[in-house]
């Protein structure tokens, strides 16, 4: 009897240990998927020197941040074709922007409004972002040089293809749960969607006009403003300062930290490793691996800001510019557009509130 009890006691820890060796938690899988997809896209683009290398990691973050499987072959081909057409619109808008600037600016404003509405009301965030890049970044680049615009079109299409391929390679290692349905945010009503789209458009347009003064230098600033307008459209005014300014500041600090660590050994694998590590930490905040009161959008936008600043710093270093001086100027612009977005949101919401109060026929 005692031998049987001893045998059962010996088997109990083994059984418990086997039960503890379950699959990786879903939140951890999502963190690793986001970080590894971003790091792999960065390594491929910088390793093969594909156009504008920091574009692919940005697309990888936008794709992998959603708790869903990667797009299939047909959907990926559709995304690439849609992006080529969207950027082609920007190429066509380049010459009219120089010959008839006022009319073209109105057309671009309508296009940005449509992009924001497509994301807010239609729920098509990634296609809307791609289309917004076509309406803003490519015409701005074309105003400086048609060759620059053509190179950007090729680099962005290649960057999206690399981001999709990176997610395809990483997803089998860190998949979603079988049969899991990703949560869908509540869709905005048409009236609310129109208002939020207008608010986001008024955030992007001044940044676009400023970029036209020096397109070759200010293109990262314009990309930041597009992402900022998308971020601002998803939040209320309360707490917006923490989201907009806080994510910009934290993204800048992360970029400085990675750049300092990269100075220890200027190698692609070190660069990839540091970015992967910081991406993993930020993803852990986004998926609540450690408890925090910040929204997932805060952490994702921090990562996007870091990648934009790092990519611009690498380009400045390759061109022989003063990296730290350029970083200070670029960071000041990023903070400036974030503060402007806060002021615009406050002013527009105040104006809308007064309009609603004065409109007749309101029922309390």
- CA-to-CA distance for 361 and 150, rounded, in angstroms? 53
The pLDDT value recorded for residue 161 is 95
Vertex 271 angle, CA 266 and 274, to 5°? 125
Counted residue by residue, the chain has a size of 364
361 burial via Cβ count (<10 Å: 0-12, 13-18, 19+): exposed
* Per-residue model confidence (pLDDT) at position 31: 96
72 has pLDDT over 60: yes
Give yes or no for residue 6 having a pLDDT over 50: no
Instruction: Quote the pLDDT of residue 84.
Output: 93
* Residues 235 and 297 sit within 8 Å (Cβ to Cβ): yes
How many beta carbons lie within 10 A of that of residue 332, not counting itself? 10
Average pLDDT score over residue span 59-76: 92
- In this prediction, residue 9 has a pLDDT band, given cuts at 50, 70 and 90, of very low
Across 116-126, average pLDDT:
86
Give tens-digit pLDDT for 278-295. 999 999 999 989 888 888
274 in a domain, yes or no? yes
* Arithmetic mean of pLDDT, 320-339: 89
Element (H, E) at 106: helix 101-120
Do 217 and 312 form a contact (C-beta atoms < 8 A)? no
Q: What percent of the chain has pLDDT over 70?
A: 87
**Residue 288 CB neighbour total at 10 angstroms:** 12
pLDDT digits (tens, 9 = 90+) for 237-261: 666 777 888 999 999 999 999 999 9
- 313, two tokens: 């710093």
Q: Which of 82-86, 178-182, 201-205, 321-325 has the lowest mean pLDDT?
A: 178-182
User: Token digits for 296?
Assistant: 């997932």
User: Once rounded to an integer, what is the mean pLDDT over residues 101-120?
Assistant: 91
Please answer whether residues 59 and 163 qualify as being in contact, where contact means their C-beta atoms are separated by less than 8 angstroms.
Answer: yes
> Residue 16 — very low, low, confident or very high, per pLDDT cuts 50/70/90?
very low
Q: Which of 79-83, 163-167, 186-190 has the lowest mean pLDDT?
A: 186-190
In sequence order, the 6+-apart residues with CB closer than 8 A to the CB of 330 are 220, 221, 309, 312
364 pLDDT more than 60:
no
Residue 322: the pLDDT is 86
Is there a domain that residue 362 lies in? no
DSSP H or E segment with residue 5: helix 2-20
Contacts of 347 (CB under 8 A, 6+ apart): none
Confidence of residue 163 (pLDDT cuts 50, 70, 90): very high
Name the DSSP class of 320.
Answer: T
Question: Is the pLDDT score of 337 beyond 70?
Answer: yes
Judge whether residue 123 has pLDDT over 90: no
Residue 7 is predicted with a pLDDT of: 43
Looking up tokens 């400036």, which residue turns up?
336
- pLDDT of residue 164 exceeding 90: yes
For residue 324, pLDDT over 80 is answered with: yes
Tell me whether residue 321 is in a domain. Answer: yes
Describe the crossing of helices 215-232 and 146-170 by its angle, rounded to 10 degrees.
50
Q: Which residue has the tokens 């490519």?
A: 138
CB 295 within 8 A of CB 185: no
Residue 180: the pLDDT is 64
For residue 240, the Cα-to-chain-centroid distance in whole angstroms is: 17
Q: For residue 8, is it within any domain?
A: no
Would 278 be classed as within a structural domain? yes
Residue 358 lies in a domain: no
Range of the domain at 204: 25-175+188-353
Q: How large is the average pLDDT for residues 141-170?
A: 92
**Spatial CB neighbours of 115, under 8 Å, sequence gap ≥ 6:** 128, 129, 131, 132, 135
- Give residue 293's pLDDT: 86
CB 303 within 8 A of CB 61: yes
Neighbours of 93 (CB within 10 A): 23
Q: Which of the two residues, 197 and 41, has the higher pLDDT score?
A: 41
Q: How many domains is the chain partitioned into structurally? A: 1
314 phi and psi, to 5 degrees?
A: -65, -40
- 338: its two tokens: 């974030």
pLDDT of 103 over the 70 cut: yes
Half-sphere exposure at residue 223, Cβ-oriented, CA atoms within 13 angstroms: 26
Q: What is the pLDDT of residue 12?
A: 40
Q: Which residue in this structure is represented by tokens 């400023």?
A: 210
């Amino acid at each position: 009897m005692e031998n049987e009890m001893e045998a059962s006691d010996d088997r109990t820890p083994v059984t418990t240990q086997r039960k503890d060796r379950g699959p990786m938690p879903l939140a951890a899988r999502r963190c690793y998927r986001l970080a590894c997809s971003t790091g792999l896209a960065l390594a491929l683009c910088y390793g093969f020197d594909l156009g504008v290398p920091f574009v692919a990691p940005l697309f990888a973050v936008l794709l992998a941040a959603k708790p869903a499987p990667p797009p299939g072959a047909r959907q990926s081909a559709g995304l690439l074709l849609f992006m080529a057409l969207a950027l082609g619109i920007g190429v066509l808008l380049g010459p009219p922007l120089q010959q008839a600037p006022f009319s073209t600016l109105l057309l671009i404003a309508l296009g940005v409004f449509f992009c924001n509405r497509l994301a807010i009301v239609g729920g098509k965030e990634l296609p809307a972002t791609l289309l917004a890049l076509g309406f803003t970044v490519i015409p701005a680049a074309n105003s400086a040089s048609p060759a620059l615009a053509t190179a950007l079109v090729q680099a962005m299409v290649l960057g999206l293809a690399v981001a999709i391929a990176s997610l395809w390679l990483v997803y089998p290692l860190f998949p979603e749960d079988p049969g899991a349905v990703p949560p869908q945010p509540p869709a905005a009503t048409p009236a609310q969607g129109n208002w939020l789209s207008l608010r986001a458009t008024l955030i992007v347009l001044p940044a676009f006009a400023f970029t036209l003064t020096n397109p070759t230098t200010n293109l990262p600033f314009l990309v930041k403003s597009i992402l900022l307008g998308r971020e601002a459209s998803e939040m209320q005014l309360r707490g917006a300062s923490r989201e907009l300014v806080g994510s910009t500041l934290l993204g800048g600090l992360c970029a400085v930290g990675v750049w300092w660590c990269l100075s220890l050994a200027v190698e692609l694998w070190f660069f990839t490793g540091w970015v992967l590590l910081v991406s993993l930490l930020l993803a852990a905040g986004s998926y609540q691996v450690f408890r925090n009161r910040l929204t997932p959008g805060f952490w994702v936008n921090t990562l996007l800001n870091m990648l934009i600043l790092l990519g611009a710093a690498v380009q400045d270093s390759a061109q022989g510019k003063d990296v730290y001086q350029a970083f200070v100027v670029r960071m000041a612009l990023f903070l400036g557009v974030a503060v402007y977005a806060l002021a615009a949101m406050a002013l527009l919401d105040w104006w809308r509130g007064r309009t609603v109060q004065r409109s007749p026929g309101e029922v309390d």
